[in-house]
Amino acid sequence: MNKKSVKDVEVRGKRVLVRVDFNVPLDEQRQITDDTRIRASLPTIEYLIQQGARVILASHLGRPKGQVNPKYSLDSVAQRLSEKLGRKVSLVGDCVGAAAEEAVSKLQDGQVLLLENIRFHAEEEKNDPAFARDLAKLAELFVNDAFGTAHRAHASTEGVTHYIPAVAGLLMQKEVEFMGNALEKPERPFVAIIGGAKVSDKIGVIENLLEKVNALIIGGGMANTFLKAQGFNVGKSLLEEEKVDLAKQLIEKAKAKGVEMELPIDVVAAKAFAADAPHRTVSVSEIQEDEMALDIGPGSIKKFEALIATARTVIWNGPMGVFEMEAFAKGTEQVAQAVASCGGITIVGGGDSVAAVEKMGVAERMTHISTGGGASLEFLEGKVLPGVAALQDKA
């Protein structure tokens, strides 16, 4: 990554605006159910505290649609962050204007302030220049540590960089370096595992990866479209009929590039999309008209595990089946175990894959777990992320 990081600039005594991604899941009582994103931001915040910066944190939470909505307040986040840092983090009632400016003016070196939900202002997602300028006015330096929103050109990710110097936080740096190195100079064999429901969500990813990987494993609902392209009947399985020709082209492209494309050879099929539906394991050539494939079968698992075991670099994005239902979780769980046991560099991106490795208790054994869903996908597609592009280049 040829961008300056927070460690390349002087921060002592400076007001530093840090864009973090505190978009955490909350339950009905507005209690945080998973604080992964808060924990991921700690290295940057703690570094700034130790260096004597005056830390101003900005984040969104949920989709308040440009309106003030107490349901999406960051008060729970301020509380959890205070616990994690072992120091008081005050929440100010707005992110711009008199209240925010007054709270910032009282900050001492090493203190931390959290601004209220940035998306309470419609101008944030519109990347409104006046709003970006008001945000930038609070600080002398901008640090972007929110990889999860780096694919959006919003006021707090791209707009502010036009008014104050902008550098990467430690999480942003780690995300871009890990994923960038994997794509540009991977240790080989390089194996990518792509799952999830739809081919259409990941066409760009597959096309870009076919230029880079030695092998590509395809599972999940999207595999049905590729199986159909190979002439198999997939019954009532999730299928994007209009993408079958594209799947044929991608299979041909893989052959032409010498990339091993691995598809399921058997599936766990059921007649209903339900957790308690009776199910059976069948070859992909034996799916009945009234059945749907809801997971990969044991033969596919074995084949995928053997390939993953040979890899020196693995990128995994998307589950192998309906892993939320116990009966159809085995494929995803076994792939998670295989990736964790692989001796190479392992990178997991995308919400469902991350949830799967957390659920399996193997997250600690992965080299890197990406905090960005959409951002990870766009990065894997080879797209330029506005939030990264806007940061200062190293000399």
3-state SS, one letter per residue, for the chain: CCECEHHHCCCCCCEEEEECCCCCCECCCCCECCCHHHHHHHHHHHHHHHCCCEEEEECCCCCCCCCCCHHHCCHHHHHHHHHHHCCCEEEECCCCCHHHHHHHHCCCCCCEEEECCHHHCCCCCCCCHHHHHHHHCCCCEEEECCHHHCCCCCCCCCHHHHCCCEEECHHHHHHHHHHHHHHHCCCCCEEEEECCCCCCCCHHHHHHHCCCCCEEEECCCCHHHHHHHCCCCCCCCCCCHHHHHHHHHHHHHHHHHCCEEECCCEEEEECCCCCCCCEEEEECCCCCCCCEEEEECHHHHHHHHHHHHCCCEEEEECCCCCCCCHHHCHHHHHHHHHHHHCCCEEEEECHHHHHHHHHCCCHHHCCEECCCCHHHHHHHCCCCCHHHHCCCECC
Sign of CA dihedral 183, 184, 185, 189: positive
Q: How many CA atoms lie within 13 A of 338 on its CB side?
A: 27
Which position among 7, 126, 198, 302 bears the catalytic label? 198
37 is catalytic: yes
pLDDT per residue of the chain (395 residues) written in tens, 0 to 9: 689 999 999 999 999 999 999 999 899 999 998 898 999 999 999 999 999 999 999 999 999 999 999 999 999 999 999 999 999 999 999 999 999 999 999 999 999 999 999 999 999 999 999 999 999 999 999 999 999 899 999 999 999 999 999 999 999 999 999 888 888 899 999 999 999 888 888 888 999 999 999 999 999 999 999 999 999 999 999 999 999 999 999 999 999 999 999 999 999 999 999 999 999 999 999 999 999 999 999 999 999 999 999 999 999 999 999 999 999 999 999 999 999 999 999 999 877 888 888 888 999 999 998 888 788 888 888 888 999 999 999 98
Q: Residue 89 CB: number of other CB atoms within 10 A? A: 21
Q: Which of 110, 374, 382, 383 is catalytic?
A: 374
Question: What pLDDT is stored for residue 236 in this prediction?
Answer: 96
User: What was the pLDDT predicted at 371?
Assistant: 83
pLDDT of amino acid 382: 84
Q: Check residue 212 and give left, alpha or beta (phi > 0: left; psi -120 to 50: alpha).
A: alpha
Task: Express each pLDDT in 191-215 by its tens digit.
Answer: 999 998 888 888 889 999 999 999 9
Among residues 321, 351, 372, 387, the one annotated as catalytic is 351
Domain at 6-170, CATH from 3.40.50.620, 3.40.109.10, 3.40.50.1260, 3.40.47.10 = 3.40.50.1260
Q: What is the CATH number of domain 178-380?
A: 3.40.50.1260
The structure tokens listed for 112 are 């931390």
Is 351 one of the catalytic residues?
A: yes
Q: What is the pLDDT of residue 82?
A: 98
Q: Are 317 and 332 in contact (CB under 8 A)?
A: no
The Cα–Cα gap between 183 and 177 comes to 10
User: Which of these is catalytic: 15, 37, 152, 228?
Assistant: 37
Active site residue 321: no
Q: Do 366 and 347 contact (CB within 8 A), yes or no?
A: yes
Could you give phi then psi for residue 323, rounded to 5 degrees?
Answer: -70, -15
Query: What integer pLDDT is reported at residue 355 of this predicted model?
Result: 82
Is residue 38 a contact partner of residue 84, using CB atoms and an 8 Å limit? Answer: yes
Do the Cβ atoms of 342 and 309 come closer than 8 Å?
A: yes
> Which residues are CB-contacts of 135 (< 8 A; sequence separation ≥ 6)?
17, 58, 95, 96, 118, 155, 156, 159, 160
CA angle, 3 as apex, 23 and 171 as ends, to 5°?
30
pLDDT in the model for residue 381 = 84
Q: What is the pLDDT of residue 42?
A: 98
Concerning whether 303 is annotated as a catalytic residue, the answer is no
Beta bridge partners of 55: 16, 112
| Contact indicator for 334, 303 with CB cutoff of 8 Å | no
pLDDT, tens digit (0-9, with 9 covering 90-100), for 91-137: 999 999 999 999 999 999 999 999 999 999 999 999 999 999 999 99
In the chain, residues under CATH classification 3.40.50.1260 are 6-170, 178-380
